[in-house]
Amino acid sequence: MQNIVCFVSDFGLEDTWVGVCHAVIHRACPLARVVDLGHQIPAYDIKKGAAVAAAGVYQLPEAIHLVVVDPGVGGGRKDLCLTTVVGTRLVGPDNGVLMLAAERAGGVDEAYALDPSKIDFRAPLRTFHARDVLAPAAAALACGVEPSSLGNPVDPATLVPPPFEPTVSDGEYVIAPVLEWDRFGSLRLRITAEELSRRGLESERLEIGFGHLALEVKFAGTFADVEEGEPVALVDSSGWLTLAIRMGSAAERYGIEPGACARVRAL
């Protein structure tokens, strides 16, 4: 049984929301160990939440992942528990925020719409499903409850897709969206390390383009493989192909936003 709960949200740390969710989890399952992967997601930013959750799953696939970026809370969207092909369990709203993480863990194997009556005898507050539905569901998983006991099966094909365009091949180019940038301004593309060979991108140099901009960059193992201020392509700690500037910000230099599409080819 895995009792680590990795928690991602846009709650920030100024209010009580993160702490209350911690308390709910520990009260329901004292064995649970909550790890805060990040709560400074910009408010309502499903793209950033999806990218952070996917990075967490890549690094801790055996954990339970609780992801709450939920501008539609209390509306018609479902609360979900997903199990993936490799066994990762994800809990969060059906707004696409879980789906990139599920992809990193082999795809969705089973999906359940959480039923609050199977989790708590009290009706949830419509504005705080994180406390009243999602956190208790993660706690139940941490204490060994099977996902099928928490809700009703859902066809994975009906779930809201990830909030990014798919990665596709177009002739000699691979077209991939920018998932996010980190605090250093490094741009993560929706191309995994495992895809590089399959998509023909294993090369000493890559062309990475955005609109009219086309960069020829070294494909290296680390930032220090280029001079300060130079661009470099590498696979970062989250397992994505990344465009970075040594000691600088690629996001600022090139003015690229998450969701923009990059075209990549081997040189």
Tokens representing 131 are 């406390």
Tokens representing 37 are 């992967």
* pLDDT, tens only, 110-134: 999 999 999 876 767 787 889 999 9
pTM over 0.75: yes
For range 257-262, the mean pLDDT = 92
Give a yes or no: residue 220 inside a domain: yes
* pLDDT, tens only, 214-237: 999 999 999 999 999 999 999 999
Burial class (CB in 10 A: 0-12, 13-18, 19+), 150: buried
* pLDDT, tens only, 12-69: 999 999 999 999 999 999 999 999 999 999 999 999 999 999 999 999 999 999 999 9
Tokens representing 93 are 């709203």
pLDDT of residue 120: 77
Q: What CATH number is associated with residue 227?
A: 2.40.30.90
| Same-domain status, 39 and 138 | yes
Q: How far apart are CA 150 and CA 94, in angstroms?
A: 15
* pLDDT, tens only, 164-176: 999 999 999 999 9
Give a yes or no: residue 217 inside a domain: yes
| Same-domain status, 148 and 197 | no
94, 126, 158: which is the final residue of a domain?
158
For range 185-208, the mean pLDDT = 95
pLDDT of residue 152: 96
16 φ, ψ (degrees, to nearest 5): -90, -5
| Same-domain status, 24 and 129 | yes
| Same-domain status, 242 and 177 | yes
Give a yes or no: residue 82 inside a domain: yes
106, 135, 158: which is the final residue of a domain?
158
| pLDDT higher than 70, residue 85 | yes
Query: Average model confidence (pLDDT) for the chain?
Result: 94
Is 9:18 a contact under the CB 8 Å cutoff?
yes
Give a yes or no: residue 163 inside a domain: no
Q: How far is CA 262 from CA 35, 120, 149, 233, in A?
A: 33, 46, 42, 13
Q: How many domains does the chain divide into?
A: 2
pLDDT of residue 127: 77
Give a yes or no: residue 195 inside a domain: yes
For residue 168, the one-letter residue type is V
112, 140, 158: which is the final residue of a domain?
158
Structural domain of 21: 4-158
pLDDT of residue 1: 57
Q: How far apart are CA 180 and CA 258, in angstroms?
A: 5
| pLDDT higher than 90, residue 74 | no
